[in-house]
Amino acid sequence: MSLETPWEPVPLNSHFYIRHNHLEELIYQELHKDGSLIRIKSPQKTGKTSLVLRLLAYAKTIPYHTVNLDFQLAEEGIFTSLNKLLLWFGANVSQQLHIASMIKEYYDEFIGEKVNCTIYFQEYLLKQVNKPVVLVLNELNRLFEYPAVAQDFLALLRSWYEEAKHNDGFKQLRFILVYSTEIYIHLNINQSPFNVGLPVNLPEFTVEQIQHLANVHNLNWEGKVGKSNAFELHALVGGHPYLIRLTLYDLAMHSDNSLNYLLEQAPTISGIYSTYLRGLLAQVTKNPEFAAALQQLINNGGKARLNHLLAYKLQSLGLVNINNLDCTFSCELYRKYFSYQNLAELNVWQYMKNLQQDNQYLVQLSNSDYITTLGNERYFETSLNQVWSMVAEEEAPLSLILLDIDHLKIFNKYKGWESGNSSIQKVANVIHDVTISFYTVGTFTIRTARFGGGEFGIILPGRTPEIAFDIAESIRKQVMNLAIAHDNLVMSGLSAPMLTVSLGIASTFIDDDISPNRLIQATRNALYQSKRNGRNSISFSTIYNCGFDIPSSQTQY
C-alpha cells in the first residue's frame, strides 16, 4: 500500500482515514432532516476538513446540491461591514450552485441587509433548485474577530434555521458550521446558531487507533511492543491526528529512525515537528498575551486559570485543553517546546513592536474621517502643503474641488442621523470611485478628504481645469444617480427631490502671489456661488481658473 502524505486532508476511500463511526452516522441522519444544522468544532489540523469532504461526498449521493464556503478565502475588507459580507456570501453561493448572481438586483437600502439577503435566498436562489442544498461554512471562527458583523450574520443564520420549521424554501437548506474554538463573542441566546442543531466535537485518536494507523503505515506495531509504542507516542502528542500521522509517516519513510529517537528530538529545532511548532510560535509571538498565558502555565506546572477569551483563542490553536475553569497544555510536546522558548523576552519584543504599530495607527487615525475613512480636514491641509512645492517645481497645474451635499441638515432632520451618515458614506464612495478612474491622468496622486457635515475636498495636483471639471461633473451626476430621496413632507421646498451636491473649483499654476489658504478660500467662494445658483451645480473661481470657462449650458443644472 502506497503512503499518503499527512499534510493534506485525507482523500476519500483512503485506508489512512480513521472513521468516527457512530458520530458520522448521526451526521448522515441529520442531513436528511429539513432545515437541519450541524456544528463541527475542533482545533486546527484535527480532521475537520477530512470529515467535511466525506459529508459532502455523502450529500451528493442522496443526491443534494453542495456548497462549501471557506471564510479564510475572503479578503479582509469583506468583514468590514455586514453589507459586504452578505454580498460576498450570496455571490459565492450563487456561483457554486451555478446560478447567475442577482444579489445586487435584490438590494433595497430601505429594508436592511439581512432582509435583502433573506429575500434573495427565498425568492430567487432556493426557487432555482429542485433538491436540498448542503451549505458548509468552513473556518467560521474567522468571523469571530469582527464581533459586530458576526452578531448580525450569525443571527441571520439562526433566523433561517427557525424559518425552516414552516417555510418550504428554507427547509431545503442543511447547514454545516465548521469552526475551531468556543464562541467568544456575545450572542443573544435566541439569535445564536450555536445552541441549536447537532453539536459535533471531533474526538482525538485513541491508543488503539494509533496502533491501527501504524499498521496501515506498514510499521508492524502488533502485540505488546506495538501497544507500548502507541502509548509512548500518545503520551507525547496526545491523540492529535496530524502529529500522529506525521510521526508514523516519517517512521515509514525512514526505516533507520527509531520511535525513541524521534520522541527525544521532538521539542527541538531538529525534530520532525519543528516546522509545525515554529508556526505555533509565530502565532504566539504575534500576540503578547498568548506568550504571557503560556508562561503562566509553565510556571504553574502546566495548569492555570486564564481569561476565558484568551483560553478560547489558545484552544482554537490546539495549544490548551479547557476543563471547567482550568487550562492545561493539550499535550506534553507543547509543554516541553514552549518551556525551551524565552517567552518573557518574546513578550517584551512583541509588545514594543505592537506599540510602534499602534502609534502608526493613531497617526493614521488622527488624519482620517471616522464615517467615510477618507482623510479629514487636517489631512487635506497637510497634503496640500506637501504637494504645493512639488507642483511648483514641475511647473504643473494644481486644481482643488470643494463640494457640499445640498440640504443635508434638512435631510438629517426628517430622515435621521443614521440615514444621513449612510448617505455621506455613499457620496464618499462616489468620490473615491470617480477619482480612482482619473489616477492615471497626470503624475501626482489625487487626495480626498471630508471636512465635516457634507463638505468634501479633493486635491488634484498636475490636473488641468478641464480634468477638474470632468471629475466634478462625473461626481455631480453619479450622486444624482444614487437617487437618495428626501422626505415627502419637504420635497416641494427643495431644489431637487433627491440629495445633490454643489461644487466649486479653482485651478492655478503656483507663483509667489498665491498661498494654499488663498486657493482654498477661492475654491470655497466658487462653492458658495454654486449654492447661490440654485445648488446641484458647478462653479469655477473667478480668480484662479487658468482661463477655463464652464459652458453656459453646464454652469447650472
DSSP symbols for 417-486: HHHHHHHHHHHHHHHHHHHHHTTTSSSS--EEEEEETTEEEEEEET--HHHHHHHHHHHHHHHHHH--BP
Sign of CA dihedral 58, 60, 66, 71: positive
5 found inside a domain: no
Residue at 225 is within a domain: no
Q: Which of 227, 254, 198, 180 is nearest to 22 (CA)?
A: 198
Residues 335 and 421 in one domain: no
Q: 162 falls in which pLDDT band (50, 70, 90)?
A: very high
Query: How high is the pLDDT of residue 406?
Result: 94
DSSP state of 310: H
DSSP conformational letter for 555: S
CATH classification of the domain holding 431:
3.30.70.270
d(CA 87, CA 185): 23
CA 480 to chain centre: 31
Among 35-39, 110-114, 226-230, name the one with the lowest average pLDDT.
110-114
Say whether both 187 and 283 belong to one domain.
no
Q: Is residue 259 part of a domain?
A: no
Evaluate if residue 557 carries a pLDDT over 50: no
53 lies in the same domain as 127? yes
Backbone φ and ψ for 542, nearest 5 degrees, come out as -75, -15
Same domain, 355 and 382: no
**pLDDT reading at 459 higher than 50:** yes
Last residue of a domain, one of 326, 360, 394: 360
- Looking at the predicted structure, is the pLDDT value of residue 555 above 50? no
> Confidence class of residue 213 from pLDDT cuts 50, 70 and 90?
very high
Residues 385, 346 share a domain: no
- Residue 282, domain member (yes or no): yes
Query: Are 199 and 39 in contact, with CB atoms under 8 Å apart?
Result: yes
- pLDDT, residue 417, reads 87
| pLDDT of res. 444 | 79
Chosen domain end from 201, 220, 243: 201
Domain interval for residue 381:
377-554
Alpha carbons within 13 A on the beta-carbon side of 471: 30
Report residue 166's pLDDT band, with 50, 70 and 90 as the boundaries: very high
Tell me, yes or no, whether 332 and 440 share the same domain: no
**CATH classification of the domain holding 291:** 1.10.10
Check which CATH number belongs to the domain holding 90 and give it: 3.40.50.300
For residue 196, tell me if it sits in a domain: yes
| Helices and strands in the chain, H and E counts | 19, 13
For the chain, the average pLDDT equals 89
Please name the residue that has the C-alpha cell 468552513. 138
pLDDT of residue 1: 64
pLDDT-based confidence at 556, cuts 50/70/90?
very low
The residue among 201, 224, 240 that closes a domain is 201
> Model pTM?
0.63
> Which is more confident, 154 or 144?
154
Place of cell 478565502: 73
- Listed range (102-106, 161-165, 259-263, 421-425) with the worst mean pLDDT: 102-106
Asked whether the beta carbons of 295 and 347 are under 8 A apart, the reply is yes
Whether pLDDT at 362 is above 70: no
In-domain check, residue 251: no
Residue 510, C-alpha cell as written in the block: 503656483
- As given in the structure block, the three cell numbers for residue 166 are 414552516
Residues 467, 325 share a domain: no
At 258, the amino acid letter reads S
pLDDT tens figures, 294-343: 999 999 988 999 988 888 889 888 899 988 879 999 999 999 999 988 77
Check whether the bond before 288 is cis (ω within 30° of 0): no
Q: Are residues 81 and 197 in the same domain?
A: yes
Is residue 192 domain-resident? Answer: yes
Tell me how many domains the chain contains: 3
- Residue whose C-alpha cell is 489540523: 45
pLDDT of residue 554: 46
Instruction: Say if residue 352 is in the same domain as residue 397.
Output: no
Q: Is residue 256 part of a domain?
A: no
3-state secondary structure 272-303: CCHHHHHHHHHHHHHCHHHHHHHHHHHHCCCE
Residues 339 and 403 in one domain: no
**Claim to verify: residue 314 and residue 353 sit in the same structural domain:** yes
> Which is more confidently placed, 377 or 188?
377
Q: What angle do CA 78, 453, 107 make, to 5 degrees?
A: 35
Instruction: Report whether pLDDT(89) > 90.
Output: yes
Residues 499 and 536 in one domain: yes
